[in-house]
Amino acid sequence: MAKKVALVQGNTACALGAVYAGCNFFGGYPITPSTEVAEVLSEELPKVGGKFMQMEDEIGAMASVIGASLAGSKALTATSGPGVSLKQELIGYACIAEVPCVIINVMRGGPSTGMPTGPGQSDVQQAKWGTHGDHATIALVPSTIQEIFEETVRAFNLAEKYRMPVQVLYDEIVGHMREPITYPEPGELEIINRTAPTVAPADYKPYDASKGEVPPLAAFGSDYRFHVTGLNKAADGFPTTKADLVDAEERRQVDKVESPINAADIEKNEEYLCDDAEVLIFAYGSTSRSARYAVNELRKEGIKAGLFRPITLWPFPEKRIAALGKQVKGIVVPEMNLGQMILEVERVTKGSCALGGVFRVDGEPINPGQIMKKVKEVM
């Protein structure tokens, strides 16, 4: 039997990917250019017994997602940059309380309300550093409609597996464009659910590190009763100021993402014509589409260009970029901001090759010609 193929908008693909992943709660507030995610889920979630809530604002939306997740739901919110700014305090709460949830950020221009209907990629550092304190971050950056569907599924898997918020960043271009996608059959894509406790309710400790880097998570409303706080805490969930416990908690929560084994599990990249590349283009999201075209055109001119496209942006693919930096003569980083991820490339390559950026913040996409021109300057 042939698989279903349809022409789908990016935001619609996101909503349908969430349903495929088992999402059964959405709490959000309308904001351009992400509103279609909410619109589609308002129709689709009731069909599968899920709940849709439009909250009074973005802060309430994030709070509802945390509450729904702690009650056992797979929970999602969708917004854009200004909305993520409002959510930051509660994102920090979800980090320290280890609450699995997914946050969709359809990026647009900024700061403040900026250009609501134009694309941008200026929230990529916000995803890593937006909330205060030391914390781990997982952020995914799909660049096609098919990938939006699949990476939304993976975002839920990572949130459940590592018991933490996961952000999906794609810009207005891919959020609003339409492409054919092939819907996976039920069971075709892996679906991961959080680990439930196996001990008796009286013995359950929600932050028991003896159970591993990611302690099992019970659901409020079940037989398990437990304490959740935004303060540093002991294994039982109640606040502590004991230095050894605070230090252990902070380090465990970062290590569950950034340790070599876990980072390798989370990291996902695409390399295109990188094996013999003499110049590398590091590009993500819709900008990587122009970059791929530029690579093909440069190859026609005899310039050995390659494309490195991070699909997982955080944790950053440090080891691979460091290795490629020693292989090539130069790296070009095109991005719709004034230079954010180029700073990460510079940090890990440590001057091993030339580096150039193509930055655009006028609400228009970066075109292949701009990238090709910069490649030739770097070469």
Residue pLDDT, tens place only, 74-85: 999 999 999 999
What number is the average pLDDT over the span 30-37? 97
Domain termination residue (choose one: 244, 264, 284): 264
In a domain, 192, yes or no: no
State the pLDDT at residue 1.
Answer: 60
- The whole-number pLDDT of residue 379 equals 84
Give the pLDDT mean for 132-153: 97
The pLDDT assigned to 166 comes to: 98
Domain count, the chain: 3
CATH number at residue 302: 3.40.50.920
Percent of the chain with pLDDT over 70: 99
- Spatial contact of 28 and 77, defined as CB atoms under 8 Å apart: yes
How confident is the model over 223-252, as a mean pLDDT? 96
Do 335 and 221 fall into the same domain?
Answer: no
Same structural domain, 316 and 232: no
Q: Are 130 and 85 in contact (CB under 8 A)?
A: yes
Mean pLDDT of 200-222: 94
Task: Assess whether 374 and 280 both reside in one domain.
Answer: yes
Looking at the fold, whether 237 and 156 belong to one and the same domain comes out as no
Mean pLDDT of 237-241: 97
Residues 303-326 pLDDT 10s: 999 999 999 999 999 999 999 999
Q: Which tokens is 118 given?
A: 């134009």
Q: Is residue 195 a part of any domain in this protein?
A: no
Q: Buried b / exposed e across 202-241, counting CB within 10 Å, b at 16+?
A: eebbbbbeeeeebbbbbbeeeebebebeeebbbbebeeee
Which pTM does this prediction carry? 0.96
pLDDT at 47: 97
Q: What number is the average pLDDT over the span 86-92?
A: 98
Average pLDDT, the chain: 97
Summarize pLDDT for 48-58 with one digit per residue, the tens.
999 999 999 99
- Give 287: exposed, middle or buried? Use CB within 10 Å, 0-12, 13-18, 19+: buried
Q: Is residue 176 part of a domain?
A: yes
| Domain shared by 34 and 165, yes or no | yes
Backbone phi, psi, residue 238, to 5° = -90, 150
Range of the structural domain that residue 341 is part of:
270-378
Reported as a single tens digit per residue, the pLDDT across 175-191 is: 999 999 999 999 999 99
The CA-based angle 223-227-232, given to 5 degrees, is 150
Measured between alpha carbons, how far is 234 from 239 in angstroms, rounded to an integer? 6
At residue 131, does pLDDT exceed 80? yes
When pLDDT is averaged across residues 114-129 and rounded to a whole number, the result is 95
Q: What is the pLDDT of residues 262-305, one digit of tens each?
A: 999 999 999 999 999 999 999 999 999 999 999 999 999 999 99
